């Protein structure tokens, strides 16, 4: 019984440790359309898009409050785009999807996030 209690406590501590570490890598900004998901992760300055519709493509448009702009796109599956951002300021992302069934596109509302990793 004592060993079971020790194993349970050790397993619980491992879960807390793992969840604590993965929490710092969560998306700072996240957005979606019916055809894709996308986000910005301040830890690593990563923008990602996951286009899960059959055909077409999805694009994450981004801009910073200090004048940089760009995009990250996928025509199938998940794609990561790596950018070196300043450690201060904000980034705005917007996801637009263009599936064959809806060629005029579907855009989600803009999402704004802090660029720096304020969790550390």
Q: Tell me, what's the pLDDT at 117?
A: 56
Minimum mean pLDDT among 2-6, 39-43, 62-66: which range? Answer: 2-6
Task: Evaluate if residue 101 carries a pLDDT over 90.
Answer: no
| Spacing of C-alpha 88 from chain mean position | 18
Assess contact for 51 and 58: CB atoms under 8 A: yes
Assess contact for 37 and 21: CB atoms under 8 A: no
Please give the DSSP secondary-structure letter assigned to residue 17.
Answer: H
Task: Evaluate if residue 83 carries a pLDDT over 50.
Answer: yes
Q: How far apart are CA 91 and CA 24, in angstroms?
A: 18
């Amino acid at each position: 019984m004592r060993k079971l209690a020790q194993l349970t406590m050790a397993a619980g501590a491992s879960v807390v440790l793992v969840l604590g570490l993965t929490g710092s890598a969560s998306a700072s900004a996240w957005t979606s359309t019916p055809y894709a998901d996308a986000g910005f992760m301040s830890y690593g300055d990563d923008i990602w898009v996951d286009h899960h519709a059959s055909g077409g493509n999805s694009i994450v448009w981004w801009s910073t409050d200090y004048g940089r702009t760009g995009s990250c796109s996928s025509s199938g599956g998940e794609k990561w785009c790596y950018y070196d951002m300043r450690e201060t300021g904000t980034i705005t992302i917007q996801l637009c999807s263009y599936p064959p069934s809806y060629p005029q596109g579907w855009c989600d509302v803009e999402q704004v996030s802090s660029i720096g990793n304020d969790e550390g």
